[in-house]
Chain A
């Protein structure tokens, strides 16, 4: 048991230490949370009406996470709190994967290995390193709940489980997939004509209804806004240029080959055995999560949950592998076993290191300088066209309006606006660009290295009479001339 505490401390030190050595935060969504934390520290209220967001919209989101980060931010300041929080969340992920794995397989070595892999996998690094996001905290809570759910007859465990589920539901709507997983187990059991136990029924129905109600209350306005199309496909146009493309290979690479293969093997072996065990629930959540990812209802956040879930199932697979190993003639070959473990860890760690270097360099200091330049050199009411994945950073550091960002849930026209942004960057003629700028009601174009890698050099902006280059560095910033109106 003490080894897990060593792993937890090491994870915290490494994640928080590296985050402290990295300037700024490493994801656009983190800047949204960061602004909320600052707003809470200033006024006690989060940014439900964000004047810098496109269209001055009312934003629908759960502020619970921002309030959680605001507590340490009171003592050490928002940026330091954000960096320490990213380390704490990573450490919590390691603990929760260990806890759930131990309850699944009752073998500490397998659980420890799974916990280790969970924090070095590319998905964990991409979603947790130097970032603050509600999903980062919600996933460890859900993993912890998987470990707790099969033992709820113990009163303390029941209360802990309800606390975890309630916190996760308040943090992120992905918790609905957990509830759906519980219901799927029930439905399949009833389909097998095996009546679930009363305790199982009680806890599953309570969890499902509680989570659904919480999400309904929190995101009712989104439901009213989108109506039946609330289960829309995620507009992938918004995520152009993001680190983790949502393709099958992209997902496998993010999660790691070893955990995903182990999870598939465990699924095939154990799919819905006749007990209400945590592994059944983990498998059913995995199936629902994979399906929703494939049909495109769940965004990139789902990949992180999938990664953590695969690590838990990896523990089951690894324990079985060791059992099998002990039955072979190689039973006493400890060196071989250690070599296999090292290989497994390396197979995840190497892509993890690659993800780390990508995440650290995703927002370079030069880019941040360019955005800060906007704050001091452009009129306060000006609007900036940038990639959707840069929208929140423009708001937070540049203090200027962006035209679109990744928070597409609160608006119906986010996809159309993302396409207009793409038109600004990709149109060949000046009239096309100015028309798109006019529709977006924008004054500046922010050409980042990310935009250049997506749309080419964008040197044509310098040839357009309507655009004046106002900053030329790693990032180029063009100002639209007042006289150029474009055609609607």
Chain B
């Protein structure tokens, strides 16, 4: 079944190649933030500074060095930031696929089961997303798998690997605790040292305020319904079938079963758990397919048709996610506008929160809010000011807010007509189009850039 592994490795690389061929800039905005922060640390190890202050937002915030930023910084020394964002996630997911295969083999799964589990894992929407987006979750998954793989024989290395994963944030720390506890129970391994180490890091995370990801914010549990980290509906069905295969052992490992079920329930409100749960689901779904293959069918032809339909369904979920990812913002039109803004004089930018990371990196301008503003001490005030400015329909009120926040530029992207306003001509959109104090500096179908030019003697109102 090694050839299945080879196919999986090819599948992992494909979305990245398609993305590289079809886009000049990587999709998704969160990775733009991670690249910029890695640049702040500028080296693999936190030699000069362990904390940095990110001054690119109105409120400013402290950022803690993590190995994730270390690896990103190292890559930035070798590749350009765009190439790094293409290469790093693909490498991590390749590593994840190999590690999952080896781990399952080591845990006594048959070759067919290993191949099926890895196949489901590779085609899952979450993996498609992670292999095209450089996020801490993409970094954590192979390390977590490696940690479990060496848990019994190389305990120091295992402790280090779990420690690195836990360092990435509170959710990865909790995942590590859960995995260690469940594995310890299932395989009767003593995991007290690893558990204590991760627990310590978890406590440290509480005080340091490490931020993990924004992706979960918009994620629903089903990928087919728009969840970027969500499960394929087919994998979910197969997972339930796979669960029935081990259901008879529920009394032996009642705690582990309860933990899995509870985690799936919690993932509905904490979507950051989904990439990790995707591994569990892939294993159960693989077992589900194995069950379908080996079960005696009254209608043998129906069995083959069912397997073909299931295969197509899994592939379809993955493929549709590839297209979703490729068409994700920012588009070339938006990038052109934002890069052009970087040549303009210094000044803060007002836009929606979701545009914040792109503006910070591509325009090299500070923003009033980005998707992590809520984590900073002045975050609530910045968000309130941003809301007031975006929904203000009076030029006087708007100018007042712009002065408080030191805003010089306004960036309006087409998606803001759905995410911020209900239609064209509402709030800030109406004001900037109808007042002399705003000059349109750039515009195309998807982005408009306006400059606030205070009039000294004339008072204009709308």
**Chain A residues within 8 Å of B, Cβ to Cβ:** 152-153, 155, 158-159, 162, 197-199, 202-203, 206, 209-210, 213, 216-217, 220, 223-224
Contact = CB atoms under 8 A, between A and B. Distances in A.
B307 to A, nearest CB: 11
20 contacts: A152-B299, A153-B299, A158-B299, A158-B302, A198-B297, A198-B298, A202-B297, A202-B298, A202-B299, A202-B302, A206-B305, A206-B306, A209-B237, A210-B309, A213-B233, A213-B234, A216-B233, A217-B316, A220-B225, A224-B226
Contacts of A217: 224, 316
Interface in B264-311: 297-299, 301-302, 305-306, 309
A387 B232 CA distance: 42
A203 B299 contact: yes
Interface in B154-186: none
Contacts of B305: 162, 206
A155 B298 contact: no
B299 A223 contact: no
A210 B237 CA distance: 12
Nearest to A209: B237
Given A197-B298, A202-B298, A203-B302, A213 B225 contact: no
A203 B299 CA distance: 8
A223 B302 contact: no
Contacts of B234: 213
A412 to B, nearest CB: 13
Contacts of B313: 213
A198 B302 CA distance: 12
Interface string B200-236: 0000000000000000000000001110000001100
B289 to A, nearest CB: 14
A224 B297 CA distance: 36
Contacts of A159: 301
A220 B306 CA distance: 22
A225 B305 CA distance: 32
Contact of A199 (B237, B299, B309, B316): B299
Nearest to B317: A217
A209 B224 CA distance: 15
Contacts of A155: 301
A394 B161 CA distance: 67
B302 A220 contact: no
B125 to A, nearest CB: 13
B56 to A, nearest CB: 34
Contacts of B224: 216-217, 220
Contacts of B237: 209
Interface size class of B (residues with CB under 8 A): 10 to 19
Interface in B68-105: none
A217 B320 CA distance: 10
Contacts of A209: 237
Contacts of B309: 210, 213
A185 to B, nearest CB: 17
A159 B298 CA distance: 15
A294 B233 CA distance: 31
Given A158-B302, A202-B299, 17 more contacts: A152-B299, A152-B302, A155-B301, A158-B301, A162-B305, A198-B297, A198-B298, A199-B299, A202-B297, A202-B298, A202-B302, A206-B305, A210-B309, A213-B309, A216-B224, A216-B233, A217-B316
Nearest to B220: A224
> What are the 3 tightest A-B residue pairs by CB atom distance, in nearest-first order?
A199-B298, A198-B298, A202-B299
A155 B300 CA distance: 9
B196 to A, nearest CB: 45
A198 B233 CA distance: 25
Contacts of A197: 298
A199 B302 CA distance: 10
Contacts of A162: 302, 305
Contacts of A220: 224-225
A91 to B, nearest CB: 29
A216 B298 CA distance: 28
B308 to A, nearest CB: 11
Interface in B125-174: none
A153 B316 CA distance: 30
A206 B302 contact: yes
Contacts of B297: 198, 202
Contacts of A210: 309
Contacts of A202: 297-299, 302
A152 B302 CA distance: 10
A153 B298 contact: yes
Contacts of A206: 302, 305-306
Q: Which of A162, A213, A224 has the most CB of B within 10 A?
A: A213
A197 B299 CA distance: 11
Nearest to A159: B301
A158 B226 CA distance: 35
Interface in B221-264: 224-226, 233-234, 237
Given A162-B305, A206-B306, A223 B225 contact: yes
A198 B299 CA distance: 9
A420 B267 CA distance: 43
A159 B309 CA distance: 14
Nearest to A223: B225
A265 to B, nearest CB: 34
Contacts of B233: 213, 216
Contacts of A224: 225-226
Interface in B302-347: 302, 305-306, 309, 313, 316
B4 to A, nearest CB: 24
A223 B222 CA distance: 13
Contacts of B225: 220, 223-224
Contacts of B316: 217
A213 B225 CA distance: 13
Nearest to A156: B301
Nearest to A162: B305
Contacts of A216: 224, 233
Nearest to B305: A162
A155 to B, nearest CB: 6
A193 B225 CA distance: 37
Contacts of B298: 153, 197-199, 202
Contacts of B226: 224
A399 to B, nearest CB: 26
Nearest to B320: A217
A198 B300 CA distance: 12
A220 B222 CA distance: 12
A421 to B, nearest CB: 21
A209 B313 CA distance: 11
A216 to B, nearest CB: 7
A8 B299 CA distance: 33
Nearest to A207: B302
